[in-house]
Amino acid sequence: MTTFSLEPAQTAWCAELRTLAADRLRPLAEKGEPGRVNRPLVAALGELGLLRRMFDSGALDLCLLRESLAHGCTEAETALALQGLGTSPVVRAGTRAQRERWLPEVVTGRAVAAFALSEPGAGSDAAALALDAAGETGGGWRLTGEKCWISNAPEADFYTVFARTTPGAGARGVTAFLVPADRPGLTGTALDMLSPHPIGALAFDGVPVTPDDVVGEVDRGFRVAMDTLNLFRPSVGAFAVGMAQAALDAALEHTAGRRAFGGALADLQAVSHRVAEMAVRTEAARLMVYAAAAAYDGGAPDVPKRSAMAKLLATETAQYVVDAAVQLHGARALQCGHLLEHLYREVRAPRIYEGATEVQRSIIAKELYAS
């Protein structure tokens, strides 16, 4: 396979996933409560083998999976992605005992995972996190502080938590811990956000963790976080591409069938040219996402730059395409329950989470000047 084309089997798999998302997963998503973990939906992702496939595949397959699900059911895509984000640090850097305890529960959809990095004072600047891991006699720690804007909180069954074990050491003093939700001193509250998936805040009041809870190495947790984000950033782009394609498809159908000014909307050059621009940008973003994923799978040295480029271009593109589709549809697209009203709410957050657009530009510039 080249970087810029898919094998027939991959194309067929994507078509199957889009159908699955629309026919099997969307009805479950529609029964869910906005802002809450939809456990029947997560269980269905496990029963269909999609959660296991996510962990058994490379970055490109992850992108194809996320793009295809996003086209038919954004809630299913997000539920799957959050399972991956919260669990991947354990898969990649966790102990055998940690993997044996939690991975079977995650891939079957019985346990919900969360990635707890952001804090009230450390969002885009993740190295500034302040959740304190105070060492205790005997080798354990007590976690004290807050996490905020954590997807799946406060309903997750376990959290991959990043805390400061060495004060004043910046990124080099951070450790990753696997923290089950039932640890004493751990509480959480839901946040009412624009996007419909669950997001919350966590409070740590002397939460006990031991060396057995460390994911990776002590004081090397920031690398665990960045390795996870380098894998998932292109797939955030894939999520965005899936939404952009859904919006483009809706715009094509609407402008071809909608009559105005004596003919179809598509007969107006201003409209057809806008749709053409939407298509060009969507395809360009898709190709950059695939290229970044292929670079990751191939072990290329410039993965951080490519991942940042893919996320930046794809999320900004999706915002443009969804907004343009809304404009072409007119007021009907703003009615609650319309596909584009849903996409309009969903498309905004990816430009912020897992590193805002401005952070991606900083990463790209740093990599360019270092080369």
pLDDT at 237 over 90: yes
155 as an active site residue: the answer is no
pLDDT band at 2 (very low <50, low <70, confident <90, very high): very low
- Domains in the chain (CATH in brackets) are 8-107 (1.10.540.10), 113-219 (2.40.110.10), 223-370 (1.20.140.10)
Give the span between the Cα atoms of 73 and 77, in whole angstroms.
7
Q: Rg (Cα) of the chain, in Å, rounded?
A: 21
Q: Which residue has the tokens 């919900």?
A: 112
What six digits make up the tokens of 115? 């990635």
Catalytic residue among 146, 354, 358, 367: 354
pLDDT at 229 over 90: no
CA nearest 347: which of 233, 192, 241, 228? 241
Give the span between the Cα atoms of 348 and 182, in whole angstroms.
32
Angular region, 111: left φ>0, alpha ψ -120 to 50, beta rest = beta
- Phi first, then psi: give them for residue 153, nearest 5 degrees: -80, 145
pLDDT at 1 over 50: no
181-207 in b/e form (b: 16+ CB < 10 A) is bebeebebeeeebebbbbbbbbbbeeb
Helix axes of 339-346 and 74-93: crossing angle, nearest 10 degrees = 30
Q: What is the pLDDT of residues 158-189, one digit of tens each?
A: 999 999 999 988 889 999 999 999 999 999 99
Dmax (CA) for the chain in angstroms is 81
Q: What is the pLDDT of residues 297-348, one digit of tens each?
A: 999 999 999 999 999 999 999 999 999 999 999 999 999 999 999 999 999 9
Q: What is the mean pLDDT of residues 20-39?
A: 94
- Phi first, then psi: give them for residue 129, nearest 5 degrees: -60, 150
pLDDT at 27 over 80: yes
- Phi first, then psi: give them for residue 162, nearest 5 degrees: -110, 120
pLDDT at 49 over 50: yes
Strands 158-164 and 113-116: parallel
pLDDT band at 124 (very low <50, low <70, confident <90, very high): low
